Amino acid sequence: MPRIDSHQHFWQFDPERDAWITPVMAVIQRDFLPQDLAPILQQHGLDGCVAVQASQSEAETDWLLRLADAHDFINGVVGWVDLRAENVVERLAHYAHFEKLKGFRHVLQGEADRALMLRPEFRRGLAALAAHGFTYDLLVLPDQLGYAAELAQAFPTQPFVLDHLAKPLIKAGELEPWRRDIQALAARENAWCKVSGMVTEADWQRWQPADFRPYLDVVFEAFGPGRVLFGSDWPVCNVAGGYSRMHALVADYVAQLSPNEQAQFWGDNAARFYKLAS
């Protein structure tokens, strides 16, 4: 059974391009490359990973694909392409030739237009993913979950996966209306969820595993064990305790699941969602 980290990033740090990495996140203001991640995966008994875009350019997509070609443990890439471009069909046809390119993502959480995903030009590009079996990662904040559910309903055969639980307000301990909106998204059977990125939404210095249990309860109940994926959000998780603490937090929670359900969570679901080679 494969054990897969379904969500991590690589970058060669550029202060201008990566301005989202602010001074309070100084611990990740440096390069993070495959040779940095490989021993961490091995330490935690993971066989491979999915590299997810952090910069919105085709150059980033191409760079991640080169890394994946050079490192067998990078099982798949979630890249970026301009879904609103006039030539999006041609660009997707180009990327369909790359076996390890599994899907795409846009940083919707940072858009001033909170409903950008529902605009006609975005939906036109999204509709073109199906011809090549590409997946779509939803990077949204809680206020956009309603739009995400509407999108998943509008494209019932398109596989969607929610990144980072939509970043609920864990530090503030707020569950509603996030819980209601998670349940609405999970009602769409084509929507999955990555259990990733949580520690960055808590108190970076003081969080305890108990802080996350209410949110994990909601996600596992709503999506079920067959539609949840482990993801570390490395190296971003380093700002709030690092890989080992995040992994231990999740491992402790899923210990209550059956062996089969645990196998699904730790890798089988990622392999199914992204159609990863065994």
What pLDDT, on a 0 to 100 scale, did the predictor assign at position 1? Answer: 74
Q: Delimit the domains of the chain by residue range.
A: 4-274
**CA–centroid distance for 206 within its chain:** 24
From first CA to last CA, the distance across the chain in angstroms is 9
What pLDDT, on a 0 to 100 scale, did the predictor assign at position 278? Answer: 66
Closest CA to 53 of 72, 79, 76: 79
In Å, what is the CA distance from 261 to each residue of 41, 244, 254? 21, 22, 9
What pLDDT, on a 0 to 100 scale, did the predictor assign at position 277? Answer: 81
Rounded to a whole number of angstroms, the CA Rg of the chain reads: 17
Spatial separation of the C-alpha atoms in residues 228 and 248, rounded to whole Å: 17
Closest CA to 140 of 120, 158, 163, 156: 163
User: pLDDT tens track of the chain, all 278 residues?
Assistant: 799 999 999 999 999 999 999 999 999 999 999 999 999 999 999 999 999 999 999 999 999 999 999 999 999 999 999 999 999 999 999 999 999 999 999 999 999 999 999 999 999 999 999 999 999 999 999 999 999 999 999 999 999 999 999 999 999 999 999 999 999 999 999 999 999 999 999 999 999 999 999 999 999 999 999 999 999 999 999 999 999 999 999 999 999 999 999 999 999 999 999 999 86
**CA–centroid distance for 89 within its chain:** 24
Tally: H helices and E strands in the chain: 10, 8
Spatial separation of the C-alpha atoms in residues 159 and 275, rounded to whole Å: 11
Spatial separation of the C-alpha atoms in residues 160 and 134, rounded to whole Å: 10
Q: Cβ distance 25 to 235 under 8 Å?
A: no
Closest CA to 155 of 180, 139, 135, 140: 135
Q: Which fold has domain 4-274?
A: TIM Barrel (3.20.20)
Q: Cβ distance 4 to 50 under 8 Å?
A: yes
Spatial separation of the C-alpha atoms in residues 206 and 84, rounded to whole Å: 41
Closest CA to 84 of 121, 53, 41, 119: 121
- Stated pTM of the model: 0.97
Q: Cβ distance 57 to 13 under 8 Å?
A: no
Burial bucket for residue 235 (CB in 10 Å: 0-12, 13-18, 19+): buried
